[in-house]
Amino acid sequence: ALGTTTRAPAGKVPSKRFPGATRRVRTRCGVAPGKQDGCTASRRDALRLGALLAALSQIGSQAACGKDAATAVAQVEAEANSVLRAATSKEVAAIADGLSVVNKGKAPALLRLVFHDAGTYERSTGRGGSNGSVRFELDRPESRGLKRGLNVVEAVKKRIRAKSKVDLSYADLIVVLGAWAVKACGGPEIEVLLGRRDSSVADAENMIPDENLPVVGIKDAFSRMGLDTRDLVALSGSHALGGKGFGDPLTFDNEYYKTILKKPWLNKKDEMAQMIGIPSDRVLPGKPCPRTLETGSPFV
């Protein structure tokens, strides 16, 4: 959960926290060892950056692409009060059985759900984060439609408990299903640690960034969570899923970034173009410049 401890697995991979899209990389909490040689807006990196959404719900402070993974993990450990653990063999089998009945068409709803549960995190106080509180927040305007994802969580939780006698927290299952959604749509595999505790009450209101905020407001909201501009761009890439006008609604690819850089909504004669994305997508593109996100970002 945001505000909990992560650890990096052994093994050599070319990227740090974002596994490469050209091959499967098993990670714990989206953290992988090694150094990143800069982030480009290629298909590979869009997938890697998109995986940040699943990682968001598992670490307390986000290191931007290019920072040392060990430093990121150390920061998280220093801030955390609880320790996540690897799933037992019984839990792994139970989770696999539960996931076997989930339809790929549910992936967009599940990916949105994991952000809304984790996105209440406030780094300065350690409050909020991935704690299952989203189930008490469904009547809020920003939670419209989240019930679809939560219904899947409820069904998987019930199946796992009935068949395997394993009782996972809502917080853990929301993260597990968020990671599953990334993989199911063509993204990298993310091995999730368990041990999150469920909250018995809703998190504070007005913590999820409003989609109508100006770019400065959105960046401030992400900064509250310990996230920077590159993290904001990466997480926005999850909008590739769900039918917002960015290609196949069930494919994790680079169409989101390619589309928003073209700014199709500026063509007022094209009615369909006016329906692409949401307001927060439209404020991301900045001045035309080099492709790398490390320097001279074409975004915000």
- Catalytic center residues: 116
CA 234 distance to own-chain centroid: 9
CB count, 10 Å around CB of 263? Answer: 12
Closest to 145 (Cα-Cα) out of 101, 111, 178: 111
Q: What are phi and psi of 28, to 5 degrees?
A: -105, 120
Rg (CA), the chain: 18
Helix pair angle (229-236, 43-50), 10° resolution: 100
Phi-psi region of 205 (alpha: psi -120 to 50; beta: other; left: phi over 0): beta
Measured from the Cβ of residue 89, the count of other Cβ atoms closer than 10 Å reads 8
Q: Write b or e for each residue in 117-130: b if 16 or more Cβ atoms lie within 10 A of its Cβ, otherwise e.
A: bbbbbbbeeeebbb
Task: Name the DSSP letter for residue 31.
Answer: B
Distance CA 133, CA 120 (A): 9
